[in-house]
Amino acid sequence: MRIHHATGSMLIALLSMAALATAAPVTAPAPVRPSAAQTAAPALWIVQAASVAAARRGVDGVGARVEQELDIIHGVSAYLNPWQIEHLRTRPGVRLFQDRAVTTRADLLGALTAPVVSTTNTLVSGINGTVASSPVGTVVTGVTAPLVSTVTPVLSPVTAPVVGALSAATATKDGSGVLALTLAYQTNYPMLVGADTLQRAGITGRGVTIAVLDTGLWEDTLQNYGARVLATRDVTNGGTGAVSGDPFGHGTHITSIAAGGAQNLGGGYLSIAPQANLVIVRAFDGTGAGRYVDVIAGLNWIVANKQKYNIRVLNLSFGAPPQSFYWYDPLNQAVMAAWRAGIVVVTAAGNEGPSAMTVDVPGNVPYVITVGALTDNYTPYNGSDDRLASFSSTGPTYEGFVKPEMVAPGGHMVASMSSSSYLANIDPNSMLPVEQLFTMSGTSQAAAVTSGVVALMLQSDPTLTPDNVKCRLLASGRPAINSSGKLAYSVFQQGAGLINAVAAVNSSATGCANQGLNIAADLAGTAHFGGPANQDSHGNYYIMNLYGSTWGTPASGDGLWWSQAYPWSQGFNWSEGYVWNSGYTWSKGYTWSKGYTWSKGYTWSKGYTWSKSVPWWTSSTSGTSATSPASIVDWVPNQ
């Protein structure tokens, strides 16, 4: 789900930090200041230059104080007033970005109808005003879609994917479950992607570390985390301490899907990579709210500690609407730096589907693995009705890249959560308090499944590079096909199809991902890239040829053209035997033409002008807020 809100606690913290910034000692001679009447309260900004030292000199030169060093993007954060911003903009090589708000992505099952325990900070929805207070919340107004909407009735207190049967006393059937201890359950997402087969063969993620940057972690003893949690870091509001829990709940849910260690009485694991190691970085507060500066600081710490903890996988189940080209966004730059450092970055596509061009930051980074969501339609043993979740964001990106690369289970996902968490209290109908299990839907959960699969791949072959991991996932995907054997969804909706863990581990494919891209040049600013997608005069999206005299013309091939249709409530088989007659031409890029000026219309150098636009994020905005709060996921009903 995506919720748009600001919290009282964050406001108090920001004001306190602002007061510290304005009262801080000046470390370098400052220009002559204007009168007090010409100044305004400072706001948090990211200042970027050729190096951290150069960015620091710029901030010192206008009499402000550096709050954090962000080495990963050659920048710093600082509280700046409009006068300081104006003067910094005149300095060559300095770029400014006002801090943006981000929150975690969690999609809930039921309507928010029952009141829950009252406590402190107010949660504000951009749609319906005040919804609840945190950390356990009180409902103070009615809530309507798109925060939470009516869903298919739950047949029992436990929804699919809890589908295992251990005895006659605990028998279950599709779409239902029983009230029993956690150890009597078996989640079905390991089965849907083939992870259970690999686990029985001893491939469990052992020795591979997954970093989860989210809201923290509540360690249920049944999840058997123990010594597998190698390190934690709480970077909220500039912090540097250890993670002490997860008051929101989202991070716990995500972590337990990817690498929880719970087993049922039959020996089956409830997660994808149950013996992978973990590094937990908290960048979001007790209501799921966060800010760019903290997320970048978390990424900075993860990359700096990659070797120490053997961090090979990074799960990012959050996002915000794009407001610049992918390469200009400082959060995306940090994500690209993690990929270049050898970390496989897995991101959620977003929950704004099924409309086109709805993929979020950082999922719009062309290099990383961006994941959409599939639902089994509450029939885990019947694969013929599985479908793309309607909330799953789709591509292309504004630069023309096909996203998501693939889809993974993300509908009605049951995973670990404390019954005292914020999410459990604002949606008690989705909580099993005795079992400490919670049901949520979203591309956040689909990303977590994929991160677990990547850990299995890297245990099997530790020599794989991020590009090779992405290539093998693409080459092993199972796309949805219709009764005629054709693709049921375009590549803009499903990418290569449903992730297939067994085929990915056994794949020997190389060189089929990120073709034509150069991440070093991208980060250095010497070259940037566009993707092969375009849009015709009728609004249809298509894949362009990127070769010779046919460059820019529509490529031929199944699934490479999309009229933006979505087959509502229709399920399809996801085929392991489908052969892409055009290869993976849609996973390529081309060098951006520096001589071509793009504005908010996004005109391609050879093609049509995008009809959709977004507020453009530039360094020419004033010192007032240039962006509205963004979030990790929209609130959507379980599917």
Token pair, residue 534, equals 């375009």
Q: CA quadruple 398, 564, 102, 341: dihedral positive or negative?
A: negative
* Active site annotation includes 507: no
533 touches 604 (CB < 8 A): no
Only one residue has tokens 């748009």, namely 4
- The active-site residue, picked from 5, 74, 250, 528, is 250
Q: What is the per-residue DSSP string for 253-271? A: HHHHHHH---B-TTS-BSS
H or E element at residue 202: none
Phi, psi of 303 (to 5 degrees): -65, -40
Which residue in 317, 444, 507, 575 is the catalytic one? 444
Integer Cα distance of 430 and 110 in angstroms: 7
List CB contacts of 145: < 8 A, sequence separation 6 or more: none
Run of H or E residues at 580: none
Residue at token pair 């995973």: 415
Q: How far apart are CA 52 and CA 291, in angstroms?
A: 20
Contact 80, 64 (CB under 8 A): yes
Q: Would you list the DSSP string of 586-611?
A: GGB-EE--TT----TT-B-TTSPBPS
φ, ψ at 331 (rounded to 5°): -65, -40
Residues 6 or more apart whose Cβ sits within 8 Å of residue 178: 156, 158, 170, 171, 172, 184
Strand order in the sheet with 95-98: 66-70, 75-80, 43-48, 95-98
Q: % helix / strand / coil in the chain, to the nearest 5?
A: 25, 20, 55
Q: Can you spell out the DSSP letters for 206-222? A: TT-EEEEEES-----GG
Catalytic: 444? yes
- The single residue of 196, 214, 427, 467 carrying the catalytic annotation is 214
Question: What is the rounded distance in angstroms from the CA atom of residue 110 to the CA atom of residue 133?
Answer: 18
Residue position matching structure tokens 């989640």: 187
Both structure tokens of 231:
């390190």
What are the tokens at 384?
A: 């013929």
b/e 533-571 (16+ beta carbons within 10 angstroms → b): bbbeeeebbbbbebeeeeeeebbebbbbbbebebbeeeb
Rounded CA gap, 152 and 439, in Å? 14
Write the DSSP string, 520-555: HHHHHTS--EE-SEEE-TTS-EEEBP-SGGGTTSBP
Q: Who contacts 543 (Cβ-Cβ below 8 Å, separation ≥6)?
A: 402, 491, 532, 533, 534, 554, 555, 557, 560, 561, 582, 585, 586
**Interatomic CA distance for residues 108 and 55, integer angstroms:** 42
User: Among this protein's residues, is 558 annotated catalytic?
Assistant: no
Which residues are identified as catalytic?
Answer: 214, 250, 444
